[in-house]
Chains A and B, each alone.
Chain A
Amino acid sequence: MCTWRRLFALLLLLAATPAAAFAQVSLGGGVTVGGEVTATFGAHDDEPHSNRADGEKPAYFNYTDYAHNALRMFRVSLSGMWQPASQFAFLVEVRSENLDRVTPYAMYARVRPWKKLPLDFQAGRIPSVFGAYVRRYGTSDNPLIGVPLVYQYLTSLRPDAIPASADGLLFYRGLGWQVGPPIYPVGDKTQKPGVPLMTAYQWDTGVQGHFGGRLVQGAVAITSGTLANPRVDDDNDGRQWSGRVSFTPVVGLVLAASASQGEFLTRQITDTYNALLNQDNHYTQRGLGLDAEYSRGYWIVRGELIDSRWNLPKINNPPIDRPLHATGGFVEGTYRLSARYYVAGRADRLTFTRILGKSQPASAPGTWTPWDAPVNRVELGGGVKLTRHLTGRGVLQYNWREGPVQFIATKKFYSSAQLSFWF
């Protein structure tokens, strides 16, 4: 609690500093810096139910990593750009969540070879070209506090450990915040979180090209990880290609489609099973996405739909004998009441294809069951611009899982408040 008080005091101190001192911080020599400090306050959601007086089970709907909750987080990000010439820039951004380790979120070079042609290349740890929300996470362009399920919700899949059978996968329905051995006997021997369809919390490493036409924009990238598991180091010698094409027929309307495919499982797992089965299979994640945005006057409406398909090796019976799909999407609306106040809402859904277990799920063994528990979320909230650089947000969020699940709650209501200061 003392830590949270200190963090809150730090944020107020920053907010009290004259905004003019922060606006457009230019260090000269083509160097500019910026940043954001965000403190989010919400209730704990990780106490084992036996430890809680009310006996309520935890639900982990908003977990982004082990012990990281999107509705209860202190985040600091610092970004810098060095632009020695008009057609070349080097950008870096580091982030820290809950004052844990500092992570280089972005670190890349940006080049525009021809001055009058809007064709740019970026190389390094780069923003994803797939989808839309991923590039506005962590910016002031977020009306709500929660992160859309497709970008945040931890499924029970891991790239470095896999279940031996459909029963193993079904055992972990709804428990993606921490999965692993002994239910996942193959690969890494520690319990870790699963992956979301596409993570908003980490960017991939590689190269990309982007064409910014007036009507049509396009981007392609080759990177070392996948949507769900972006990486700096490559753990499987595979590359992901990804691309996005967007169409802007009129100002304010953007329609876009994205696609990606890349090696998902680690080299250790792939090699083991290819040798065992005398095969040369690729265990990939393939993503397909649609997104749209329409804004006019005081309204902004955004929506995204993402389908992810993973291939896993068939090991023991009952086998995971078909690709695993997860499909999620959201619709988000924002209405500005005045220069200072706005209201917003988002509806989310995440579904999974069915597989056939033998002993799982425990309450209905031997039935075709979604390989992870489908999740729904409704989040309503609003915000106030306390100053140009300080925004307060508050949300109410309701989540529910479609059972059967073990050990955790199927429904949960959360409230959360946030102060966000950017410069």
Chain B
Amino acid sequence: MALRSESAANGSIRGRVEVRAERTANTRPDTSGLGMAASREGTDRRRSVVYLESAPQSAFETREQPRARMDQRNEQFVPHLLAITAGTWVDFPNDDRTYHSVFSLSKFNSFDLGRYAAGRTKSIRFQSPGIVRVFCDIHPNMSAFILVFAHRYFAVTDEDGRYRLENVPPGTYTVTVWNETVSGRGDLPARIVTIGDNGAEVDADFRIQ
């Protein structure tokens, strides 16, 4: 990243991420069940996170202890994809009538909330940047991703795949896209973009096959 004049106006990066992925049928065959599983819409795997590979120094200044929320609703994590800064507390409220048991085996953010019932919330503070896969120990179909960033220059795409990174200081950046369909690949889709001194809006579209 190359920073330009500190006094220049900040800009923004916007665009669209097109993901060629279907909703997954969120149902592992439950042959030992005695009845129909709860009707679920399936996981929308088209949501992505767009972020700056490296960010200006000011992005790392901690000003608050933010909170985020990941519900357990109808045997799904909602949202399925969450992006936060390191140090954020994430609440995991159980909105279902059954127990859930949220855990992660992720290397730097491993946790286990145990079983807890409807109406209760347990929380975890995510301290280390990285990708956190979240599961329920009772319901094997439930999974979610939490992307923990060291800075605040990231955005989750909306249902049309659109995103916007606001208040980006002038400079040249590598904008990268993460999507679960390409998770684990060494070469995530990325583009180099430059924010001029006038703080203009820059477009950067992506396509993930």
Q: Do A and B bind each other?
A: yes
Contacts of A23 in B (CB 8 A): 143
Of residues 155 through 174 on chain B, the ones whose CB sits less than 8 Å from some CB of chain A are none
A48 proximal to B (CB < 8 A) = no
Q: How many residues of B contact A (CB 8 A)?
A: 39
Of residues 25 through 39 on chain B, the ones whose CB sits less than 8 Å from some CB of chain A are 25-36, 39
The verdict on A24 contacting B112 (CB below 8 Å), with A81-B29, A339-B104 known, is no
A103 proximal to B (CB < 8 A) = no
CA A20 to CA B135, docked complex, whole Å? 13
The verdict on A91 contacting B31 (CB below 8 Å), with A24-B43, A251-B117 known, is yes
Which of A28, A127, A339 is B32 in contact with, Cβ under 8 Å? A127
B54 proximal to A (CB < 8 A) = no
Bitwise interface map of A from 9 to 49 toward B, beta carbon under 8 Å scored 1, else 0: 00000000010100110101010111000000000000000
Contact of B35 with A210 in the complex, beta carbons under 8 Å: yes
B192 proximal to A (CB < 8 A) = no
Bitwise interface map of A from 260 to 285 toward B, beta carbon under 8 Å scored 1, else 0: 00000000000000000000000000
Bitwise interface map of B from 9 to 45 toward A, beta carbon under 8 Å scored 1, else 0: 0000000000000101111111111111001000100
A235 proximal to B (CB < 8 A) = no
CA A81 to CA B28, docked complex, whole Å? 8
Contacts of A91 in B (CB 8 A): 29-31
B184 proximal to A (CB < 8 A) = yes
The verdict on A92 contacting B183 (CB below 8 Å), with A339-B112, A388-B133 known, is no
A6 proximal to B (CB < 8 A) = no
Contact of A140 with B110 in the complex, beta carbons under 8 Å: no
Of residues 157 through 186 on chain A, the ones whose CB sits less than 8 Å from some CB of chain B are none
Contact of B184 with A120 in the complex, beta carbons under 8 Å: no
CA A18 to CA B186, docked complex, whole Å? 14
CA A130 to CA B112, docked complex, whole Å? 32
Contact of B34 with A87 in the complex, beta carbons under 8 Å: no
Bitwise interface map of A from 306 to 349 toward B, beta carbon under 8 Å scored 1, else 0: 00000000000000000000000000000010111000000000
B115 proximal to A (CB < 8 A) = yes
B8 proximal to A (CB < 8 A) = no
Query: Which residue from chain A places its CB closest to the CB of B103 in the assembled complex?
Result: A339
Bitwise interface map of A from 133 to 150 toward B, beta carbon under 8 Å scored 1, else 0: 001101110000000000
Contacts of B28 in A (CB 8 A): 24, 32, 34
CA A91 to CA B118, docked complex, whole Å? 30
Which of A24, A112, A135, A387 is B105 in contact with, Cβ under 8 Å? A387
The verdict on A297 contacting B140 (CB below 8 Å), with A127-B32, A340-B110 known, is no
Contact of B36 with A208 in the complex, beta carbons under 8 Å: no
Contacts of A214 in B (CB 8 A): 97
CA A106 to CA B30, docked complex, whole Å? 10
The verdict on A340 contacting B105 (CB below 8 Å), with A26-B24, A388-B135 known, is yes
B116 proximal to A (CB < 8 A) = yes
Contact of B105 with A388 in the complex, beta carbons under 8 Å: yes
Contacts of B30 in A (CB 8 A): 81, 91
Contact of B22 with A28 in the complex, beta carbons under 8 Å: yes
Which of B31, B99, B115, B140 is A105 in contact with, Cβ under 8 Å? B31
A249 proximal to B (CB < 8 A) = no
Which of B27, B104, B111 is A83 in contact with, Cβ under 8 Å? B27
Which of A80, A89, A127, A300 is B34 in contact with, Cβ under 8 Å? A127
Contact of B34 with A120 in the complex, beta carbons under 8 Å: yes
A103, chain B: closest CB distance, angstroms = 13
Query: Which residue from chain A places its CB closest to the CB of B137 in the assembled complex?
Result: A336
Contacts of A24 in B (CB 8 A): 24-28, 43, 141, 143
Contact of A112 with B36 in the complex, beta carbons under 8 Å: yes
Query: Which residue from chain B places its CB closest to the CB of A300 in the assembled complex?
Result: B115
The verdict on A20 contacting B29 (CB below 8 Å), with A296-B115, A388-B135 known, is no
Q: A300-B115, A336-B114 are in contact. List 15 more A-B contacts (CB 8 A).
A: A18-B184, A24-B27, A33-B29, A79-B29, A93-B31, A120-B35, A122-B34, A129-B34, A212-B34, A251-B98, A252-B115, A298-B112, A339-B104, A385-B105, A387-B105
Point out residues on A near B: beta carbons under 8 Å. 18, 20, 23-24, 26, 28, 30, 32-34, 79-81, 83, 86-87, 89, 91-93, 105-106, 110, 112, 118, 120, 122, 127, 129, 135-136, 138-140, 208, 210, 212, 214, 219, 250-252, 295-298, 300, 336, 338-340, 385, 387-388, 422
The 21 listed contacts between A and B (C-beta, < 8 Å) are: A20-B183, A20-B184, A23-B143, A24-B27, A28-B22, A86-B36, A89-B36, A105-B31, A106-B32, A118-B36, A120-B36, A210-B34, A250-B117, A251-B97, A252-B99, A252-B115, A297-B115, A338-B112, A339-B105, A339-B110, A340-B105
Nearest first, the 6 closest Cβ-Cβ pairs linking A and B are A120-B35, A81-B29, A339-B112, A210-B34, A251-B117, A135-B32
